[in-house]
Structure formats: structure tokens, C-alpha cells
Amino acid sequence: MNFLLSVSRLIDAVNERIGRLVYWLVLIMVLVSAGNALSRYALSVASNAWLELQWYLFAAVFLLCAGYTLRHNEHIRIDVIAGHLSRRAQTWIDIFGTVFFLLPMATYIMWLSWPVFMNAWNSNEISGSAGGLIRWPVRLLVPAGFFLLSLQGVSELIKRIAFLKGLIPDPEEKHDLPIELIVARDGDAAK
């Protein structure tokens, strides 16, 4: 289980780093959007490429941050029933949902989207709009985003199982220290 927890920490670190880098895409997206609106309304100069770039950046933020959002447990939940259950029961629900819903859905979408990307790559697909952008970069975002989401799903599954075994604290609780430091501290205290 220690090896799996180290894999989980590596996955968490990858999604954390990507999530923090993608924060900057939000700023770029706002600047592109403002520049596009300014040029269109103040200068009467419109560009489909700038408009499509906004869409591409939005897609990048949404898709590449899905794993990051799961890592921070910020996806929408409806806990009408589960909110009244014990933490262990909630963890079992998370495990069930990850194994039977999240991972199959994410891997299936990743698998379906790969040929779409490859077709765009091989044909050097370009937008149908005048002055539009090439499409393969945005087509690559779909399998990449769902790959990161799948990886984070595996990480969350590992953490939930480790929690049920009593190896780590509740991964959904907010801690002052990262889980790996708490585990190291508690392990040292037990010696």
C-alpha cells in the first residue's frame, strides 16, 4: 500500500502542477476576450481566430483542470442522503462511484476522443470559419483532460482505500499539513 500511496502522491503532484499552470490560461483568456471586444467595437476589426482562441482557452481550462478539481474535492455533489451517513459509508460511496462511474466514463471518453484527435492531426484540420485556427490542439485537449481525470480518479481511489484501512487521515478533511507529512508525523510518533 505504501507504493500505491506514493503513486497517489505523484498523481496529485502532477494534477496540482497542471492546475496551477492553467490558472494563467484564465488570465490570458480574459485578456484575449477583452482585446477581441475592444478591437471589434472600438476599431471595427473582427477576427475569427481571436474568437476561436477564446474557445480553445476555455476548453483547456475546463478539461485540464478536471483532475485538479477532483483532487480538491470541488466537483458538484448532491449529498441529500450521503451527508447523513458516516464518513466510512460516504467513503464506500466514493469508491463505488469512482470504480463504476468515473473511471469507466473517463476512460471511454478518452478512448472515443483519441481517433477524433488523430484524424484532425493527420488531416491538419482547420476551422471552417474564415481566418480560423487549426483544430488538432483543441482536439488533443479532450483525451488529455480525461486522462488527467482518470489518473486523479485512481489517486482518489487509493486514498479512500488507505483511509478505510486506517493508513491515512480522511482525505476529504482540510488539514494544515499535506497528508504525506501527517502520515510521516504520525508514523514517527508511533515509534
The residue range of the domain holding 23 is: 2-190
Closest alpha carbon to 56 in 156, 152, 127:
127
Higher pLDDT, 190 or 53: 53
C-alpha dihedral over 174, 176, 178, 180, to 10 degrees? -110
Question: Mind giving me the DSSP string for 15-32?
Answer: HHHHHHHHHHHHHHHHHH
Average confidence (pLDDT) over 135-147: 95
What is the per-residue pLDDT across 54-76, written as a single tens digit (0 to 9) for each?
999 999 999 999 999 999 988 87
Evaluate if residue 183 carries a pLDDT over 70.
Answer: no
Average pLDDT in the 145-155 region? 97
**What's the pLDDT score for residue 185?**
55
CA dist 72 and 86 (Å) reads 20
Q: How confident is the model at residue 86 (pLDDT cuts 50, 70, 90)?
A: confident
The helix/strand/coil state of 134 is: strand
Contact assessment for residue 133 and residue 54, using Cβ atoms and an 8 Å cutoff: no
3-state secondary structure of 143: helix
Which among 163, 148, 144, 143 has a CA at the least distance from the CA of 4? 163
Unique residue bearing C-alpha cell 476551422: 127
Going 44 to 47 to 50 to 51, the CA torsion angle's sign is positive
CA dihedral 121, 127, 132, 134 (to 10 degrees): 0
Residue 64 near residue 18, CB atoms below 8 Å = yes
**Beta carbons within 8 Å of 17's beta carbon, 6+ residues apart:** none
How many angstroms separate the CA atoms of 126 and 121, rounded?
A: 10
Higher pLDDT residue, 182 or 162?
162
CA distance 48 to 143: 25
What does pTM read for this prediction?
A: 0.83
pLDDT band at residue 107 using 50, 70 and 90 as cut-offs: very high
Number of domains within the chain: 1
> Could you say which DSSP state residue 157 is in?
H
Q: How far is it, in rounded angstroms, from Cα 3 to Cα 17?
A: 21
* DSSP code per residue over 102-116: IHHHHHHHHHHHHHH
Q: Rounded mean pLDDT of 16-32?
A: 93
Q: Give the mean model confidence (pLDDT) for residues 127-154.
A: 92
pLDDT at 176: 59
